[in-house]
Structure 1
Amino acid sequence: MKPVTRIASDGTAYRDLNGNGVMDPFENPHLDVASRVEDLLGRLSPAEKVGLMFHTVIEAGEDGHVLEHPGRISKSATTDVVLGKHLTHFNVHALGDARLAARWHNELQTIAERSPHGIPVTVSTDPRHAFLENVGTSFAANGFSQWPESLGLAALRDPALVEQFADIARQEYIAVGIRAALHPTVDLATEPRWARQPQTFGQDPTLVTELGLAYLRGFQGRELDAESVACTAKHFPGGGPQKDGEDAHFPYGREQSYEGGRFAEHMEPFPPLIDAGVAGVMPYYGMPIGLTVGGEPIEEVGFGYNEQIVTGLLREKLGYEGVVLTDWELVNDNHVGDQVLPARAWGVEHLTPIERMERILRAGADQFGGEECVELLLELVDAGRVTQDRIDASARRLLAVKFRLGLFDNPFVDEDAASVTVGREDFRTAGYAAQARSVTVLQNGVAGSAATLPLTGTPRIYAENLSDEAVATLGDRVARPADADVAIVRLTAPFEARDDLFLEAWFHQGSLDFPPGLISRLQAMAAVCPLVVDVVLDRPAVLTPLLPFVSALVGSFGTSDDALADVLGGRIAPEGRLPFDLPRSMEQVRRHHADVPGLGDPLFPFGFGLTL
């Protein structure tokens, strides 16, 4: 079987990736990256080069082995897609425990060794260190150390903490073979209804830039090397200003609005990240409406199709030379079970899949996210509609990242080390502290009454959506508010449930108003005992109706029940400050321009937070 580790005549140990018994230049660990890339590029078949340009979902078997049949979302058996289609970039979804995840990764790399030139696989992931579970955007931590959402890190405004988090996440990723992060999300959270805010650093471009750079340092280091996780900054040129807050995953959310004239602020985080060497950039799905940049009207097509944005702005004006990876499924519709999600071909819906692919390449992308239709790209090459030089340009960028990450020299991981590293006690402790500290106190005392927090003594507690274990650290649980000294209720920011299109149920969209029945019930509860409310702010909420009767009001951005109890009981001091404005009303939200940071006269402003 190939490859095997051999010793060259000069004593260099190398992996014989093509099995010819000779240390070819691309196999030589002492050569510079550019030389290794050029040597390998000249050896690859058109099919191998094309395979590099696809980055799709892969699913791991629950037993730590590769999945040799289509999964719930992945479309092909692992061996078929690696050896048959020559794909070498995969976005992994659910993973087992650390040992099983490492075992799966090694098995995947062993399959890749059987390809003609042994090109190693790059495994990527969406964020997976926090609480929210959305198969389109992020995964809950499970065995990894658990931290607040990025909004919670933003609430602490501490670049050193963000870098510490990213460094810990990097170590845990590398332990199981994940070498690419489809983050950070440096979009500005300027439209209060937008569903993608949890993974952002909030509304302020200066804070987003500062924390985005710290995040990049923790994952990539000062330069990309064998200890790095390659980051992809998204969503260029800023995905936050979604019209009416609807998300561009879905046809009704395809438009991005710049009525406030603030395009430049949404762009602000990207140049510093580019200068710092971010490995990848991902354009968003959104289609700009009425946007003019430098006096030039921008074509109203999705950013991934937009040559003015990807080539003109990103490549030429900003000088970006790294990988451009499209967001998922711009070419083909996605059918999962009895649901469908149309291709996000906004503005070019009339084009055929092969025409969409040609348009994306002309725009300047290197890699198709969520696709494995290699036959379409080979058809374009065979027909002369896409040149070999164009394919080589993208393949060169993609191979360079693999070489810099050291994957050609050793892509395998240690299963024993993975089980020790992932979820390590000190990692968990740091994440837990950040969860608690990021809690943001909005009100403490009502109608001139004394402060309610921190809770003291051993009060009788009525609680909703708070575990028995957490309540027990604060007092004694009772079954009725009328029997309680204090009530504690955890709420999620309001949203309108939808479940027609695939993925739609995972996205919190629509009105930010709590239903009137809930407000009435909470008011009745507050009439018989002091009421403490925590609102999980995965996006802003209209909290105005709560203020007259809630004794204490806090916001959280990814905080466990136990960590919240530590804050309410005064054992850990909350330090959070709002990463975005909280609106007074939905009318204020509807009047607000989607691209403008801040609401003008919010109920609670960006940066607000009380101390206990």
Structure 2
Amino acid sequence: MEKYKDPNVPVEERVEDLLSRMTLEEKAAQLCGDLAASFIKDGKLDKDLLREKFKDGHGRFTQYSLVGLVDPEQIAKITNEVQDYFVNETRLGIPVALQSENLCGYPAKGGTLFPAQINLGCTWEPELAEQMSHIIGQESRAVGITSAMSPVIDVSTDPRWGRTYETYGEDPYLVSQFGINYVRGMQAEGVSCIAKHFLGYASTQGGLNTAQARINDRELYEVYATPFEAADKEAGLGGMMANYGEIDGQPVIANKKIARTLLRDTMGFKGMLTSDGAAVLKLFNFYKLSRTYEEAGLLAKLGGCDTEIPVGAAFRHLPEYVRAGKLDEALLDESVRRILKIKFDMGLFENPYADISALSNAMNDPEKEKLSREIAGRSLVLLKNNGTLPLKKETKLAVIGPHADSLRYPVSGYTYPAYIEMLSAGAAGSQTTFGGIADEQKKLETENKKKGNLPKGPFATMYDMFSAEDKAKLNDMNQVLRGMGAKSLREVLSERTEVVYAEGCKITAPSKDGFADAVKAAEEADAVVMALGGNCGWVNVTGGEGKDRQYLDLPGVQQELLEAVTAVGKPVIVILYGPGVFAVNWADEHCDAIIEAFMPGQHAASAVSDVLFGDINPSGKLTMSVPRSAGQVPIFYNHRTGSGYQSGADAATAAAIFSGGYVDGKSDPLYKFGHGLSYTSFEIADLEAPEEAPTDGTVRVSCTVRNTGDRSGAETVQLYTNFFGAHVTRPVMSLAGFRKVELAPGESKKVVFDLKLSQLGYYNEDMEFVVEPGDLTVMVGDASDRIAEKKTVILTGEKTNVLGKRSYTCETEVL
């Protein structure tokens, strides 16, 4: 037996043995992606196509879950046929990685659908991420998928960006905690994670997708790289996906300073760096960095990119550059090592096949649905409440708005329903903004423009896999969603109380024809529930990939509808749905209660209903600041001292000439980071911390939290820090730890934080990554703007260099 085939041999030795046997073409093949459409003909797998296109083996097939939109058994059988070819018919028998987007669930038939990741973040319970990703990983592995292009651990600082809902928010510590837990759960199931998008993707100019990001070297590492490094060091992250966009003149995949010096030398990452979908192609046709597509592949490889997806049409030519002396074969080898190691680590050589006999017990079931419902309920954020909530059981409700009777709108993008919409629209020739597949479709159209017959593109090829009956089922979105247990808010509330319904208006349409019915419904009710906001996906949506915003107002005529209904004089509760936040200044002033729901998934209606009537005491907290207007953007709580709304803005001080605030509005956000109300009340007190600590030590901080109300509830105790003593500006405050605590009425508990000071490292004026002596203020509260107590700890001793020795998690204990 060859050494690389022996599971008892250490992985590193197996990798080297296999690498030593590979030709240039076989090495390059491992660095290439492709779509399942490449081996589908007339709706079926064609092994002759596999033999023709992939005789040297292959790295990965991406967006592979599209094969399973109709039936998990269908995708499992195709998995086994595909792997049979690569294992038994290629020279070296290297299995192929099958890859999907697993952000909110295995996105195909039989997968458990979970709320948007912004919802998950709002729970402030990272352990739920691990529980969720275990399920996603187990279902994915059951059909043969071993690579997940998730989680999204971008630090998101611009709410105009359409992909905000995929992230966990604006704070690097909180994002790190969710990323660590997500990766742990997924990879424990034999599915390697590709965290994205390295680096700075969510902080672009104008909030535009793939636009330039102006981020300095300090912030690149201190803020944006931290979640990626944390997921690597604490969870063994397998791979990262490079940001499409440009930083300092070069897109990340061709930027040696980022993809090599920062990622490999500073961060010490040993895993794979993949392109985003068609990012190599974009070097050529979008950013104009190369004269040919093939040259773009060379630039990406030299820059530090390991793989090209969705189709490795440029990376296939890398052997030519090796032979021409323009590319060192060692650069090819470094990438092949990373790819092979992941395949060995995930057990792909020992177990490349799907177990079809176990499939029926491996997919979605009622127990898994419980977790999805739990996350939905615990994610809702009560932004405002004047005492109207919770509602009394006999309250007659008017349920109004474009979201009131929709099954689809509470479900996010990058999910099974969104994939159905995208594939159907793409097959019909409609434009979609799905990166990668849409680019391949456009490339095909461009290359064949002058030919009479345009060959089928990837959308149509994949869609042909399904029968006419299957297509009809997929095109009935309500049927798909009901099959996943979805009900509308109108339906669920009607099961609890008397409801008068009126749509009022569409999400974006200008018509006000429904206003009269909405006003009439409000007049007939005791209270009004306004279900408003946006929707998400790739087709006809207000937010998503390539769907960014100029304004943060409610879409269409929804604001006018809200004002017309509120004028009736009944109590009004606003439920906000969609992939991003809204600047609801008027609603905050005139409405009685506001709940930020984002996109809780198929169980949204039951979660919202339970909060409205008090069966769930809301405990969600915002993970991003909500601006009063787009003119405040970027606005985030942890801005640098001397910049931003906490640095003298609106204060009558001598510094007002420098930071006096806006002349046409307030400077602070409408809702602050960490904000979220409850139906009970809490008190955080008894802060304890040492007088001093060495710079290489640990600071133990403790406080008590007490439920001072008459309902059971959960409060998230938040630990913040501020440091004075650096010769570079530092954030006014930074989240350093948090813990959600369940408390009965009158009950109190002690929360203990063990904060390793190596977690607080920063670049000093000499670009040394250090912890320095000075004054560390520790603060505890229930939101960034509601600090209950604070204390200063003197850090003593010499500066301590913590590069390569950072801590990422503040251990907590509840006593």
Q: TM > 0.5 between the two?
A: yes
Partners in 2 of 1:598 and 1:59 — Cα distance?
Answer: 50
Q: 2:612 aligns with which of 568, 589, 603?
A: 568
Change (3 A) 1:506 1:288: closer
**Counterpart check, 1:471 vs 2:412:** no
Shift of 1:111: 2.7
The yes-or-no answer on 1:267 pairing with 2:307 is no
Q: 1:410 aligns with which of 351, 354, 359?
A: 351
Describe how 1:2-41 pairs up with structure 2 within 5 A: 23-41=1-19
Match of 1:255 among 198, 202, 212: 212
Q: Map Cα deviations across residues 313-371 of structure 1 (whole Å, 9 max, x no partner).
A: 111122222111121212326xxxxxxxx86753x434321221111111112111222
Q: Report the number of matched residues.
A: 539
Work out which of the residue numbers 211, 218, 243 in structure 1 matches 2:178: 211
2:218 counterpart of 1:278? no
Distance 1:112 1:460, change over 3 A: same
Question: Is residue 429 from structure 1 mapped to residue 366 from structure 2 by the alignment?
Answer: no
Q: Which residue of 1 aligns with 2:621?
A: 577
1:174 corresponds to which of 118, 123, 141: 141
* Structure 1 letter corresponding to 2:10: D
Distance 1:44 1:258, change over 3 A: closer
Write the mapping of 1:92-491 to structure 2, written as runs, cut at 5 A: 92-94=64-66, 95-96=68-69, 97-113=71-87, 114-129=89-104, 143-221=110-188, 227-248=189-210, 254-258=211-215, 262-263=219-220, 264-276=222-234, 277-289=236-248, 300-332=249-281, 346=287, 348-373=288-313, 374-445=315-386, 450-457=387-394, 459-464=396-401, 465-466=403-404, 467=488, 468-479=490-501, 480-491=521-532
The CA distance in 1 between the partners of 2:606 and 2:389, in whole Å, is: 19
Q: Which runs of 5+ in 1 are unaligned?
A: 1-22, 61-65, 131-138, 222-226, 249-253, 290-299, 334-341
8 Å contact from structure 2 (residues 199, 225) kept in 1:
yes
Higher Cα radius of gyration? 2
- What is the rounded CA distance, in whole Å, between the counterparts of 2:241 and 2:538 in structure 1? 28
Q: CA distance change for structure 1 residues 350 and 122 in 2, over 3 Å: closer, same or farther?
A: closer
Distance 1:422 1:229 in 2: 15
**Aligned equivalent of 1:17:** none
Report what 1:551 is aligned to: 592
Return the match for 2:57 from 72, 86, 89.
Answer: 86
Instruction: Tell me if structure 2 keeps the 8 A contact 1:494–1:511.
Output: no
1:269 aligned counterpart, secondary structure: helix
Say which of 657, 673, 678 aligns to 1:606: 673
Partner Cα distance (1:362, 1:565) in 2: 54
Relative contact order, higher structure (CA 8 A, sep 6+)? 1
Kept in 1, the 8 Å contact 2:97–2:147? The answer is yes
Task: Check the 8 A contact 2:157/2:203 in 1, yes or no.
Answer: yes
Is 2:179–2:231's contact at 8 Å kept on the other side of the alignment? Answer: yes
> Could you say what secondary structure the match of 2:530 adopts?
strand
Structure 2 CA distance for aligned equivalents of residues 520 and 487 of structure 1: 15
C-alpha deviation, 1:141, in angstroms: 6.6
- In structure 2, do the counterparts of structure 1 residues 48 and 496 end up closer, same or farther at CA, with 3 Å as the change threshold? closer
Cα displacement (A) at 1:438:
0.5
Residue matched to 1:5? none
Unaligned 5+ segments in structure 2 are 405-487, 502-520, 647-667, 680-815
Tell me how far 1:543 sits from its aligned partner.
1.1
Give the Cα–Cα distance (whole angstroms) in 1 for the partners of residues 128 and 344 of structure 2. 30
- Distance in 2, matches of 1:538 and 1:49, equals 41
The structure-2 alpha-carbon separation of the partners of 1:69 and 1:605, relative to structure 1 and needing over 3 Å to count, comes to: farther
Residues 260/515 of structure 1: CA separation in 2 closer, same or farther (3 Å cut): farther
CA distance in 1, matches of 2:530, 2:135: 32
Q: CA deviation at 1:471?
A: 2.5
**Counterparts of 2:615 and 2:217, CA distance in 1:** 44
Deviation at 1:533, TM superposition (A): 1.6
AA partner of residue 462 (structure 1)? V
CA distance in 1, matches of 2:589, 2:48: 58
Q: CA deviation at 1:481?
A: 2.6
Give the 3 Å change call, closer, same or farther, for CA 564–106 of structure 1 in structure 2.
farther
Could you tell me which amino acid in structure 2 is paired with residue 605 of structure 1?
Answer: K
Q: Secondary structure at the match of 1:169?
A: helix
The structural deviation recorded for 1:170 is: 1.6
Deviations 1:87-107 (A, max 9, x none): 231222422333333223222
Partners in 1 of 2:48 and 2:149 — Cα distance? 23
Identity rate, percent: 28
Distance 1:510 1:410 in 2: 49
For 2:32, the aligned partner's letter is F
Q: Which residue of 2 aligns with 1:6?
A: none
2:492 touches 2:609 (CA, 8 Å); kept in 1? Answer: yes
Q: SS at 2:20's partner residue? A: helix
Q: Which amino acid aligns with 1:330?
A: A
In the alignment, what sits opposite 1:538?
579
Cα deviation per residue 1:485-512 (whole Å; 9 max; x = unaligned)? Answer: 2322322248999989xx9886243321
SS of equivalent residue, structure 1 residue 575: coil
User: How much has 1:604 moved relative to structure 2?
Assistant: 0.3
Please state if 1:517 is matched with 2:557: yes
How far is 1:271 from its partner? 2.2
Whether the aligned pair in 2 keeps the contact of 1:58 and 1:93 (CA below 8 Å) is no
**What is the one-letter code of the residue matched to 1:168?**
I
Corresponding residue for residue 54 of structure 1: 32
For residues 556 and 599 of structure 1, what CA distance do their matches in structure 2 show? Answer: 26
User: How much does 1:77 deviate?
Assistant: 9.0
- C-alpha RMSD of the superposition: 3.2
Q: Is residue 184–residue 234 contact of structure 1 (8 Å, CA) maintained in 2?
A: yes
Distance 1:82 1:456 in 2: 64
Question: TM-score, normalised to structure 1's length?
Answer: 0.80
What one-letter code is carried by the residue in structure 1 that aligns with 2:215? Y
Indicate the larger mover: 420-429 or 516-525. 516-525
Instruction: Assess, with a 3 A threshold, how the Cα gap between structure 1 residues 128 and 542 changes in structure 2: closer, same or farther.
Output: same
Q: Deviations over 1:226-269 (max 9, x none)?
A: x4211112222332211110010xxxxx2102389733212222
CA distance in 2, matches of 1:563, 1:416: 35
Aligned partners of 1:584, 1:481: CA distance in 2, in Å? 28
> How many angstroms does 1:534 deviate by?
1.2
In structure 2, distance between residues paired with 1:599 and 1:219: 39
Shift in alpha-carbon separation, 1:458–1:513, aligned structure 2, 3 A: closer
Note closer, same or farther for the CA distance 1:269–1:520 as it changes in structure 2 (3 Å cut). Answer: same
Shift of 1:606: 0.7
Secondary structure of 1:117's aligned partner:
coil
